[in-house]
Chains A and B, each alone.
Chain A
Amino acid sequence: MPPTTLENATCTFCGCVCDNIGLEADGDRIVKTKRACGLGEAWFKNHTAERLYPDALIDGKPASVDEAVEAAADYLYQANMPLVYGLSNITCEAQRKAVALAELVGGVVDSHTSL
């Protein structure tokens, strides 16, 4: 189980990336923040761990993650030039894998920096 209180959590809502945020969780939601600004507090409180959405959708219909991963791999493999875009709200570890995937399928990889 993850902890229910944290003294030095990191907020990734804006580029300040404050790493001194106190958090208190109750079940699947964060109920209290310390030292965060208004934006950070909303960020932490609005992202619960509830199951609000289907695991995956294929053509708008609920599907399992396995099926969706398979479909995604097929689409990317068949494409001549896929685009991998975003990357700004994911971890560095995920970004690194996204670059590896872009190389594997021979595509363009780009972030919000290009806007």
Chain B
Amino acid sequence: MGGKVTCTLGEVKNRADLIIYWGGNPADCHPLHFSRYTLNAKGKHVPQGRKGRTMVLVDVRETPSVRFSDIFLQVRPGKDFEVVTTLRALLKNRPVDEARVAETGLTLEQLQNLVDRMKNARFGVLFFGMGLTMTRGKHMNSAAVLTLVAELNAFTKFVSMPMRGHGNVTGADVVMRWTTGFPFGVNLSRGYPRFNPGEFSTIDVLVRGDNDAALILGADPGATMPQPAIDHLARIPTIVLDPKLTHTSRLARVHITTATTGISAPGTAYRMDEIPLPLKPILKSPYPTDEEVIRRIYEKVKVKPAWSPAAYAKVPCA
């Protein structure tokens, strides 16, 4: 798959004249994305703001984001991969079968028009959301989009960026990358990191019942995961750190209330373009921070005999 061709949101703001959102609804889910970083922002090389930019929205249904877009392409559900692949073929002037294209819900003219716009953009950006990465094709869809964008750089400057949800999920990727070499789903049970999505991803681990304890940090799998995963969490010793009593807290053996990130707990969070930003708390919580509680658990475990001679401990807990 190779690397991702990307940039910061500051560059998008100052340069992008073609903005594509694929499989997401920023108007509802990232309400200030348009005004701070993309469509409506006035940039150094896009001084007219909205008038200087074209927005294309690709999604399987009409959402409130449609009315912000210049072009809306409604793809048939589950056909994103076929659309991306057709775009890649058109980009290279390869023949495509019009009947097969029609199965995606779009016409060849629409896709050719999009390819022409992409090639002729001065600076294009493709934001992709969970409508692309969590539906049929999943990571193959992400790979296809990243490849399309990389290939577009033979014609013009083009970048891609995932539209990340939860506040600091980007930070989790970054921190795991620099501590273990992998972005998520890292198994350290042999004393060194192993990465295998589908095997060491949480849902798979829980549904198979591989783990015999769980520490849940600021998440509520008891409300969102499939039932077999929840049953397993209830069966094993589960520990929850959260500012609220969650569904998971109710099935856990241990719950510890913590201060709310960014409101009463200081630290750092990453924006979706991997820019770290400081968090400045305005309230003083009666509860300890997650950071402090994790450190205290760490110190309690650290004084016990090591579970393996090789185990102690490469990642610093400074």
Contacts and interface: CB of A to CB of B under 8 A. Distances in A.
Nearest to B169: A88
Contacts of B188: 102-103, 106-109
Interface in B250-270: 250, 252-257, 259-270
Contact of B33 (A16, A48, A96, A112): A16
B175 A92 contact: yes
Contact of A10 (B180, B210, B279, B285): B279
A85 B116 CA distance: 44
Nearest to A105: B301
A69 B217 contact: no
B87 to A, nearest CB: 25
Interface in B222-248: 236-237, 239, 241, 243-245
A16 B31 CA distance: 9
Interface in A14-34: 14-19, 23, 25, 28-30
Contacts, number: 366
Contacts of B95: none
B131 to A, nearest CB: 14
B270 A17 contact: yes
A87 B260 contact: no
Considering residues A56, A78, A103, which has the most beta carbons from chain B within 10 angstroms of its beta carbon?
Answer: A103
Contacts of A23: 282
Contacts of A82: 211-215
B312 interface: yes
B173 A90 contact: no
A15 B219 contact: no
Nearest to A12: B167
A interface bracket (residues with beta carbon within 8 Å of B):
35 or more
B interface bracket (residues with beta carbon within 8 Å of A):
35 or more
B291 A83 contact: no
Given A17-B167, A75-B239, A99-B180, A37 B32 contact: yes
B271 A15 contact: yes
B163 A15 contact: yes
Contacts of A77: 301, 304, 307
A97 B298 contact: yes
Contact of B32 (A16, A29, A92): A16
B205 A108 contact: yes
B256 A68 contact: yes
B172 A106 contact: no
Given A15-B30, A110-B200, A76 B213 contact: yes
B172 A47 contact: no
Contact of A79 (B174, B212, B263): B212
Given A2-B283, A30-B282, A114-B202, A69 B212 contact: no
B200 A108 contact: yes
Interface in A24-63: 25, 28-30, 37-40, 44, 47-60
Contacts of B212: 79-82
A104 B311 CA distance: 7
Considering residues B214, B236, B283, B285, which has the most beta carbons from chain A within 10 angstroms of its beta carbon?
Answer: B283
Interface string B278-293: 1111111111111101
Given A12-B262, A89-B167, A94 B217 contact: yes
A69 B301 CA distance: 10
Interface of A: 1-6, 8-19, 23, 25, 28-30, 37-40, 44, 47-60, 65, 68-73, 75-115
Given A75-B213, A101-B294, 15 more contacts: A15-B164, A16-B36, A65-B256, A69-B293, A69-B296, A72-B297, A76-B213, A83-B206, A83-B214, A83-B215, A84-B215, A87-B219, A92-B168, A106-B191, A109-B180
25 contacts: A10-B269, A15-B271, A15-B272, A49-B285, A58-B253, A69-B293, A73-B297, A73-B301, A79-B211, A79-B236, A88-B172, A88-B219, A90-B217, A90-B218, A91-B290, A92-B267, A92-B269, A94-B217, A95-B171, A96-B318, A97-B291, A99-B179, A108-B186, A108-B189, A112-B172
